[in-house]
């Protein structure tokens, strides 16, 4: 009774504010209890099938234990009298089994990946960035201060990399330098990847290359075919102008091609080219790309060969794509254009975060039913019915716990604000966000190549 009285007294003092006017501490015990209630609910729903099968198997076992040898002999005689029916059923079963194995999607494995690491001479600290920006004489004092502020707030570290042509005094943005940058990044990543996997260039049957802003003739994919002397019947694609999502779009394209090309390897190369896309004007919406985008690239090798299963790093399970180009705001949120002085740059609009959020919302809605456990889907469905059917507006929309479906998250490191918003909306921990934040700090924004860079920072956790 004494313990009960003390607990009751403690509860009376833990109101919204204490007698001294200070805010009371939250009831941590209640939150811990709710956490374990949710974990218990998740475990119960996830294993409901097994809980139902146990009594069913017990009943079947009890019935089988009552059968005698004469019962089995009688069953055999009945099967002999119905030989035609048994044969037809067996043939149908064999046909359906064969049809299933021949029409099911081929498994696609990610054998390995490699990220290009520039030489130390290409290191660009924030101080060096500002020094070289001043020496160009292209930027006003106000816009130099603006770039300094963006560099401090964006979350980039002191060891990001820039191409030589941009950091040179004076800068030398020309086609030859842009080709050198592209070859350096692509060949550096591919050489490391081929060394890791032991795959010969002649064995590669599919090639997908993406680079949004640099699309020379011959194409980047043709550069790779020529340099590595790839075979003549290779299926090659060169994607351009697709922005930060191009890396995953390329993986999705390669995955689909592997469904129709058996026993094949697919090489995916993602990069961005800085040399010809450095902005030398004073439009602030275009200066953002100077502050965020950095040098780098990634090469990924996919396979649909069953023999590669054991030596692969991952298996690709699901890819989801959403196109928001029909919406004018989405279409113009990242737009390459000329400013008032006819200088070309990439403008990032204020609608970018909202547009990205809508695309992410659609993707999650599509992906949720595929990957979320039944417990989360049931909670989401009940909440949705309560809000839409019974008009219970006081109930907040339920955000599924994606941590129950995924152990690791590789989020596009487009800037500190992007990562903070993702962490908040998906209720992720610092541990979940670490790969993306470390990528941003160490390498900056690499647009399409960020997926591979996130994997690079993720690998030490799993090894």
With 0-12 / 13-18 / 19 or more C-beta atoms within 10 angstroms meaning exposed / middle / buried, residue 451 is: buried
The DSSP string of 345-394 is EEEE-TTHHHHHHHHHHHHHHHHHHHHS-HHHHHHHHHHHHHHHTS--TT
- What's the pLDDT score for residue 38? 58
The residue range of the domain holding 399 is 371-458
Residues with Cβ within 8 Å of 52's Cβ and at least 6 positions away in sequence, in order, are none
Count of structural domains, the chain:
2
- What's the pLDDT score for residue 457? 53
Separation in Å, CA 119 to CA 63, 122, 159, 444: 73, 6, 11, 16
Mark whether 377 and 315 lie in a shared domain: no
In angstroms and rounded to an integer, the radius of gyration of the C-alpha atoms of the chain is: 29
- What's the pLDDT score for residue 444? 65
Tell me which of 324, 358, 392 is where a domain ends: 324
Q: What angle do CA 48, 51, 53 make, to 5 degrees?
A: 110
Give a yes or no: residue 221 inside a domain.
Answer: yes
Mark whether 315 and 400 lie in a shared domain: no
- What's the pLDDT score for residue 27? 44
Give a yes or no: residue 345 inside a domain.
Answer: no
Give a yes or no: residue 117 inside a domain.
Answer: yes
Closest CA to 349 of 442, 274, 428, 286: 286
Long-range pairs for 41-50: beta carbons < 8 A, 24 or more residues apart: 41/375, 42/373, 42/375, 42/376, 42/404, 44/375, 45/373, 45/374, 45/375, 45/378, 46/373, 46/374, 46/375, 48/374
Give a yes or no: residue 165 inside a domain.
Answer: yes
Give a yes or no: residue 225 inside a domain.
Answer: yes
Give a yes or no: residue 276 inside a domain.
Answer: yes
Give a yes or no: residue 65 inside a domain.
Answer: no
Closest CA to 276 of 181, 359, 202: 181
Mark whether 259 and 400 lie in a shared domain: no
Q: First-to-last CA distance in the chain?
A: 54
Tell me which of 256, 291, 324 is where a domain ends: 324
Mark whether 308 and 403 lie in a shared domain: no
| pLDDT tens profile 435-457 | 888 877 766 666 555 555 555 55
Mark whether 238 and 141 lie in a shared domain: yes
Mark whether 287 and 410 lie in a shared domain: no
CATH number of the domain at 213, please.
Answer: 3.40.47.10
Mark whether 268 and 400 lie in a shared domain: no
Mark whether 233 and 381 lie in a shared domain: no
Separation in Å, CA 349 to CA 59, 283, 308: 65, 12, 44
Mark whether 127 and 234 lie in a shared domain: yes
Mark whether 129 and 198 lie in a shared domain: yes
Over the chain (463 residues), the average pLDDT of each successive run of 10 is: 39 39 42 52 66 82 81 76 80 86 88 91 93 94 95 86 93 95 97 96 97 94 98 96 89 96 96 93 94 91 95 91 92 94 93 85 81 82 83 80 82 79 82 83 60 54 53
Mark whether 123 and 219 lie in a shared domain: yes
Give a yes or no: residue 452 inside a domain.
Answer: yes
Mark whether 124 and 239 lie in a shared domain: yes
Instruction: Answer yes or no: are the C-beta atoms of 346 and 289 closer than 8 Å.
Output: yes
Separation in Å, CA 456 to CA 187, 189, 301, 449: 18, 12, 14, 11
Distance, CA of 34 to CA of 314 (rounded, Å): 34
């Amino acid at each position: 009774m004494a313990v009960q009285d003390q607990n009751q007294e403690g509860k009376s003092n833990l109101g919204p504010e204490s007698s001294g006017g200070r805010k009371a501490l939250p009831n941590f015990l209640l939150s811990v209890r709710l956490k374990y209630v949710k974990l218990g609910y998740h475990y119960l729903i996830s294993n409901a099938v097994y809980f139902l099968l146990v009594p069913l198997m017990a009943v079947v076992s009890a019935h089988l234990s009552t059968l005698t040898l004469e019962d089995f002999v009688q069953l055999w005689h009945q099967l002999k009298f119905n030989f035609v029916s048994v044969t037809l059923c067996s043939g149908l079963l064999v046909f359906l089994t064969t049809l299933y194995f021949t029409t099911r999607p081929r498994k696609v494995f990610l054998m390995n990946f490699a990220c290009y690491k520039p030489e130390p001479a290409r290191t660009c600290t924030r101080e060096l960035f500002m020094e070289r920006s001043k020496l160009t004489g292209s930027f006003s004092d106000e816009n130099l201060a603006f770039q300094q502020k963006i560099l401090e707030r964006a979350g980039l570290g002191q060891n990001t990399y820039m191409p030589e042509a941009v950091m040179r005094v004076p800068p030398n943005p020309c086609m030859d330098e842009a080709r050198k940058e592209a070859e350096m990044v692509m060949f550096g990543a591919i050489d490391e990847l081929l060394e890791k996997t032991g795959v010969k260039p002649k064995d590669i049957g599919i090639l997908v290359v993406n680079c949004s802003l640099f699309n020379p003739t011959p194409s980047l994919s043709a550069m790779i075919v020529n340099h590595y002397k790839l075979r003549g019947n290779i299926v090659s694609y060169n994607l351009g102008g697709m922005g930060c999502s191009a890396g995953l779009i390329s993986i999705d394209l390669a995955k689909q091609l592997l469904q129709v090309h058996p026993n094949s390897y697919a090489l995916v190369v993602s990069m961005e080219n800085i040399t010809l896309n450095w902005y030398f004007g004073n439009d602030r919406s275009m200066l953002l790309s100077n502050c965020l985008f950095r040098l780098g690239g990634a090469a990924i090798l996919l396979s649909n060969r069953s023999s590669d299963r054991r030596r692969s790093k991952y298996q690709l399970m699901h890819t989801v794509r959403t196109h928001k180009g029909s919406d004018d705001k989405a279409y113009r949120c990242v737009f390459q254009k000329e400013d008032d002085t006819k200088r070309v740059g990439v403008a990032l609009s204020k609608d970018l975060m909202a547009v990205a959020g809508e695309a992410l919302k659609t993707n999650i809605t599509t992906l949720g039913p595929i990957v979320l456990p039944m417990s989360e889907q049931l909670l989401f469905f009940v909440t949705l019915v309560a809000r839409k059917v019974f008009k219970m507006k006081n109930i907040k929309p339920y955000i599924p716990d994606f941590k129950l479906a995924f152990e690791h998250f590789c989020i596009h490191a487009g800037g500190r604000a992007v990562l903070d918003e993702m962490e908040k909306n998906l209720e992720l921990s610092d541990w979940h966000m670490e790969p993306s934040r470390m990528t941003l700090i160490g390498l900056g924004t690499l647009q399409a190549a960020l997926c591979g860079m996130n994997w690079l920072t993720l690998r030490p956790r799993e090894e």
